[in-house]
Every structure is written in C-alpha cells, then in structure tokens.
Chain A
Amino acid sequence: MLGRTANGLFWMFRYLERAENTARLLEAGLRMALTRDLITAEEEWRSVIHAAGESRAYRAKHGTYTGIQVWNHILRDKDNSGSVLAMMRQVRTNARAVRNAISGELWRVVNESWMQLDDALLRPVTQGSVGDVIALVKRAGTLAHGAMANSMLRDAGYNFARAGTLVERADNTARILDMKYYLLLPSLSYVGTPLDSGQWDHVLRSVSGQRAYRWLNAGQTDPRGIVQFLVLDERFPRSLAYCHSLLQQNLESLSKNRKEGLESTGLIRRSAARLGDLTVGQIFEQGLHEFLVEFMGCNARIALAISDDYRFQR
C-alpha cells in the first residue's frame, strides 16, 4: 500500500472520529443547558467551547456563550477550520483520495453523509434543527464504521483506518476527562454535590457512556468509578485501555512481517501493558491531570511514529 494512501485512510478516520466526538460533546452540552438556569447554561456552553479547543477563536468573535452561537460556531462557522462541516469535508476529501483503497459501499455512505450534512448546514442551525444535525453527524460515523466492518478487506488499509479511529478516540476521551477535572469544577468544595455529579453525567454523555456506566455500576456516580470506567475498563469502546489495546492489535498486525522493530509497535506495547497493570488508586496518586497529560503525549507520539514508520509523507 502507498504511504500516501495509508495517510489518507488514517486521517479520513481521525477526522470522522473527531467530528463524531464533537457532535457528542455538543449533544451533552445541549442536554445540560436544557436542565439548568441560564447562567449555568452559559458555563456549560463555555466548557463545550473549551473542550472543543475553540476558546480563543470563539472569544475573538463572540462576547457571550449562548447555545445558538456556540453550536453554529462548532458546526459550521466559516472561520473555524475545526468545524464539524470542515472536518466532514476532510473526511470526504480523504475518502476521494483513497477511493481505490476503500470499498464502494464505504465511499458511497461517506459521500451521501457529506451531501446531507452539507445541505443541512447551508443555513444557520436553529434550536429546532440542532438535534437533527447532531444525529446526522453521529449517523455518518455509524454508517461509515458499519460499511467498513462489512465490506473492507482485513488488510493494511483496514488497520490504518482503525488506527486513525483509535488514536483520535483515545485523545478525545482523555481530553474530555481532563477538561472536567480542571474546568468544570469551580472549586474542590463542590466535589460530591449535585452540581458535581451532574457534571460527571455530562462527561459520561459526551462519550455516550452513561447507559453503559449505569449498567455496570448500578447508578453509583463517583469520580473513582468513572475514572475506572473511562480509563481502565476494556469493555467500554471509548476507554483509554480499550483504544490502546485494540490499537496494539492493529499495529502488531501491520508490523507482522517486518524484520526490524518499529517505533510505533514498541510504543503501543508499552502503553497497552501499562494501562493493563494500572489501578485507579495509582492514577489518583499520580494525579488525574498529570496522568492524562502524560497519556495524551504518549498517544500523540504513537501517531507520529505510525506516520514515520509507514512513510506517510516522504
């Protein structure tokens, strides 16, 4: 497989994952805003902007954090190169560039999703339609993953596509978790209050994990349980342990017939092994924030190593 094609597949799925996660983040924000008074809603929207990494760009244009401004900025603002619309365009552009490495089915669902979304985002998104747009984005991801699972050859291309998804997903989960710890809680005195648990609920919703978590924990919402769930539970498809354990499988399969050891394979082995041995106690001992920053750095190094090992560029 061409290095450029591998790169295209990897980024096609990174952008798809990022767009989907952004939609989930928005969905969680929307729900929180509906259940709070205006002021707290403002705080929720601010945190959504922050989690999306859009604080600076947003402040340059807007003075207030109203829902309609926030979701239009995130979904379709022309000046926002990280908007959902821009990301989905990247998904399609990458898919076009690697068309002969993906199945016809996958291409068609990506193309159709893009057409629908492009159409839905032609005009500003109103309160009445924001839910539909979010559903469209999530559906785009579901369709693409489904088409891939059902029709793509399990060869290098599949592994690069999966690697893109998992690297991005791990980063997103870590970022949302970190954001909660540092930004949402005004001060430590809130720990354990209804506001606190409401925000943890927000975090779970952002990764579509609220139902799974409740199922596993019989409704007990506490920081330890949630960190255990989002970082270490290999059953949850957005946990860090799940992402890196699967990523290890993809990278092992890619490097199977290589004579020399590859940097990316070494890095993922170490990370997956570490997450496998870790306990929640150890994470809190190190400090959740410190742990997450270290994890995100390691995740980024793995992505870079994949790009070097498989000649994505030159």
Chain B
Amino acid sequence: MSGINNIMDIARKGLFASQAAIEVTGQNISNVNTVGYSRRYVRLEESLQLDYRPGQIGMGVEAAEVLRHFDRFIETNYLDKSTMQQRYDTLFGSLKSVDSLLYESDKVGGISSSLTQFFSDWQKLTTETDNYAVRETLLADTDNLLSVIHQADAQMTRMQQQANEFIQQDVNDINLILDKIAGINGQLKQVEIPGQNNANALRDDRDRLVRELAGKLDINVITRGNEQDFTITTKAGHTLLQNDQTFSLKFEGPRVTSSLVAGSTFGADGKLYFDGMDDFEYTIDFVSAGTAGSEYSGDPATAAMFRVSLDGGKTWLKDENGVELQFPAGDEAHLVEVRGVKIWFGQQGSSLTPPSNGPEVGDDFIVAPKSGVYWYQDTSTSENITPQIYANGEDNNRRITGGSLAGFFNFRDNYIGQYRDKLDALAKELIWSVNSIHSEGAGLKKLSEATGTYQVFDSTVPLVNDTSGLFFRDKLQSGNLQFYVYDGTGAMVGTQSLDFSAYGITPGNPNFDPENHSLEDVRDAFNDAFNGMFPPPPPAVPVQASIVNGSLRIASGNGHTFGFGQDSTGLLAGLGINTYFSGTDATSIEINSAVASNTSLINAGHYNGAGEINKGDNLIALDIAALKDTKLDIHTDFGGTSHQTLSEFYNALVSSVGADTSGAQFNFSYQNSLAQDLDAQQQSLSGVNLDEEMSNLIKFQHSYTAAAKLISTADQMLQTLLGLKP
C-alpha cells in the first residue's frame, strides 16, 4: 500500500541494500591480497510494483544475491596453457641436471677425454708392446673410462628413480585434490540456492584446486553452463570427477594387456609372460601364425612371428640394415630377449606350460616393462594413461599430455630413456669393435684356459636365432677361425681351422654358418679339431671345449697351451673368448676378468702363419688404436644407424641433450607467457582493484546516506501530518 509507510519501507530496503553492498565492498578490500579470491558484487533487483494512482509505484530495492566476477572461458584457456607450462617447466628443470651431468662428463676425466686417452694408450702400446708399465697404464685408463661411463649411467638411473618418486607424489596429490573438489561439490549442493544464495568462497576454493590439478595433468572442466554440474576429465576423456564422485589414478608396476582379433583362440588359456625392465612400452603385433603344434618351437620357420614397436605401433623395430625385426613366439624354453626384456608364452596358470592355441595374425599385446599411471574406472577396470611420445615427436593423445606428470614421464622414459639407449649403443659398439680385433690377437703368453663371457639360453638352436639368446648373434657371419695348439715345451702341436662339415644341415661345408650351427656344434667342432691334432692314443685332456652355464669354455691339460688366429666368423668376439671387454651395455661393460687379472693377456700382436708371436709385433694394438678415427655403424632403436667415430657419436649425444634442454626452456617460456597473459585477463576481471572498490564504497555510502535521509524526510512528512489540527 502506497503511503508514507511505503516510503519508510523503501528507505529501509535501500539502507539494507547499501549496507550489503558496502559489506561486499569491504570484503573485496580486505581480500585484495588473497590468492584465488574473486571480486564479488551484489546484484540489486527492483522490488515488487504496486498498482496505484498515478500508476505503478515501486516498493524499493532488493539485494538479490552476491555474485563473483569470474570468466569460465578465460579460465579454461588458462588451464590449457598452464598445464603445458608445468609440463615444460618440469622437463626443463630435470633436463638441466642431465645437461650439467654430461657437461661435466665432457671435461677432463670425463667420457670424451677418457675415450681419447684409451685409444692413446693403445697407440703407446704399439711402440712398447712388451712393456708391463704401459700395459698397466692401459688397464688403469680403461678402468677410468668404464668408471665414468658407469657413473653417467648410474646418475641417469638415479634421476629416473627420483622421477618415479615425484610421479608417485603427484598421483597422490591428484587423488587428494580430486577428493577435496568432490567435497566442495557436495557442500555446494547443500548450500547453494541458484539465484539467491551463492557459495562464492567455495567456488573460489574449487577453482584454486582445479588450477592446482591442471598443474599436475591436462584436464577438461565441463560445467554445461551450470556451475553446480561439475565434471573434470583428462584431455583424453577419462573422467576424474563427476560432481561429488571421484575416479582414482594409481601408479603401478609392469603389466601386459592383450587385444586379440575376433576368432583368435589364444585367449582360451594363453598368456604372454615377460621378465626385465625397459623405459619404453612394447606393442607386440603378430604378423604370422605358427604351424599347428609347433607355434612355440622357437624356430622361425614354423613358429608364430611377431614384430615390436616402441611407440604404440607407429614404427617397428629394425635391424642395423633397416630391415624390420621379427621374433619367433616361444614357450619358456624358447624365450626371446628384446632389448633386454625376455618374452615368452605360457598358460594362464603356468608360465612353464605352452598354451593350447597359438596367436593369430593381428593379435596384439602391450607389454609395459616399467611403472606407469593407470586410470581406474572401477575397482577392477583400469586403463593405461602413461604419457607416450611417438617416434615423430607427437604425443599419444589417448594418454596424459600435460602437467608435471607428463613432464616427469617424458623425462624418465623418452629423454633419459633415449640418452641411456645412446650411451648403451656407444658401450656396445666399443665392446664389439675392440673385441672383434682383440680376439684375433696374441698377448705375451699363450692361453691355457678361455671361458666365453657371453651366454646362450639354448645351446641346441642355431646361434643366430633369437631364441639362442646370444647377445651379439646378429654380428656372426659365415666363415672360419684359426687356432694353434702348443705342447708343454711351447712347441706348436698344430694349427687348424674348425670343420663343421659334419654338423648342421649343410654337410660337406667346413665353414661355420650362424644360420645352421648351434653352440653345441661349435663345441663339438672344437673338440673334433683338438682330437684330430693328437694321433691315438691322445694324451689325457690335451685341449677340450665344453659348455658351462651357456658359455663356451676351452681348457687345456698336460701343460698344453693354445691361441687364436684369424676369425672371419666373429665367433670368438661373439662368445667372449680372448676378448678385452665383457658386458653388453653401459651398465655391464667391464674389462674381461682374465685380462684384468693378467696384463700379459692384453693382445698387442698376433700369431703369424707359423704360429709364432713375434717380439715387437703390434698389429692388433695398431688396429685398435686406429678405431679412434674409424667411422663405425652405431645403431640405436630410435636414431637408426649412424656412421660416426665413437667420439663423434658421444659428442652428438651431449649436443642433443643441450638442444633438448634449450628446446624445453623455450617451450616453457612460450607457454608461460601465454598462461600469464590469460591470468592477467582473468585477474583484470576477478582481481580486486582498490581504486574501483573505493569509488564503489563512496557510491554505496552516498546511497546509504540518501536512504537514511529518506527516512528522516518520511518522518518529517509524518510529523507534518500529525501536526495538522482540525
């Protein structure tokens, strides 16, 4: 009802509205320095209208609700940039430590200078072949070289372990943040009344947590225009949170997942088993099925064959000549080793029993021989969302691609993984190139015992077969090797080549053929040759070859000695007999223990055609010293085969670390600038501006004063009316 009372009521509402506005302004002013606080305002609404004369008269103002200034669109863009900024920040910070590690290793006493010193020592040995001091120096400097290689490898391994700890921490944080957001969503549901009561502080808290979450992994925030319907997914679409329900992430150990083609019977009881660790995930794809009943024989002619990809099936592993590698599927007795991971097929309940059915063409398995992040849809269904980078540098968009998680995983798997791969390739090439020369040489004394440093899994299969397990099997070639036997007085009993004509599937051919001959054939060929040197009755055990723990051992008796000459097969280096180094990679490379304990076994010279070691012969030392400037074919699974000297290869590795670090730094700066730009825009909207708040304060103060004045005016009007006399 219109009247003086209505004026009073209008003034009262004005007072309350101004008071509310001043309170909100005060709240803004006090929170000027609060991180994540969004500026608030009161939405004023005109009260109801009364139909009256001379027309509608309003009933004042209502302070309808308190709202916050916040732009979801800018925030979404900010989260995208911020997540990439965090990824590169993490990557840059981690790569800096590798850069400084290899930079240090490049200085005096580092890998590069130690490698130079190693070849320089061999050069010195060429002039003083029988000088024990020179030989001792060579051993000491080799020790130093191996020590810096081991240190670099061990440091990188430690960095990977450290990354694992950070990842575990991040995963815990993510689950915690998701729980907190779910809790806030639950509270919002209870507290909020749309259009009337907004829990702005809770919304600010939630957005602050969402920013924190985006720092850990790439996310999508879906509100469908309604802030109460709040869903967070990864960019790839895995739901992390839906209102007050959360889905958890777990950082878990190695595992296999299989994807079989329709109609494949392998899954009835078959299972892929593996043993070993690697930095990359293996996608195993069957390209041919095996012959019924012989799928797991380990024989490439009849076994089911598979190929392996390290980047989710985009590219497939190739050998040094660029030919795609294919491996036979074997049971536990015919397992194959791929990049140090042993793979075989067994029954689900028993890894030792071959499965009933073989895999079909197109059957795929993903072997993750490393720990990774898994998204749990429910307690039993999980999905691997570990970040993965393809060979062309692109991210696998079905996985995590942002935040510190992606940074740590990229660092642990792709960057360090590839650096370690290159360091392993360097060590492998150093071992092979030195050993293949050294094994054909002669030291200062003849051998009475030689045990191979490399083992086979199966001594009955041809050595080149993947199931033989011999590390350097790809290096073996057809040909023959020469050896010499001496009696107790040092006089030569005889010189002979091995005769393989009685073995394998090519009878009549005396040469060794890696495609046909097994380690047992090699042992037998040695024994036949030794026995042939001693007419019956031969002395007891003059020289005998045997297989001990998968390695070939040649031992003499009765004071006999022996030595090796030219070897066109690579057998001696491949089996680790009469070699300088043992081991296969940066972690395992060592000086052959026989050489390390006896400097006279360092081969500087060779046996001449008459089986003699000439004093001053330096042929082998010269050849090894010449390796310093020899361009070698060095193969890595990611970089292919490069034709470089060992030093050039190592320097290229150091340069690539520098380039990666600088690339990560630029990417960080780039994403950081974009994120800051968006944050500044969000801040210009939701940040508190004291000047603006001051002017608002004055404005609302005046409104309040005017409303108060309205009360006194109404009061005076009432007094006037009451003062009227009849």
Q: Do A and B come from one complex?
A: no
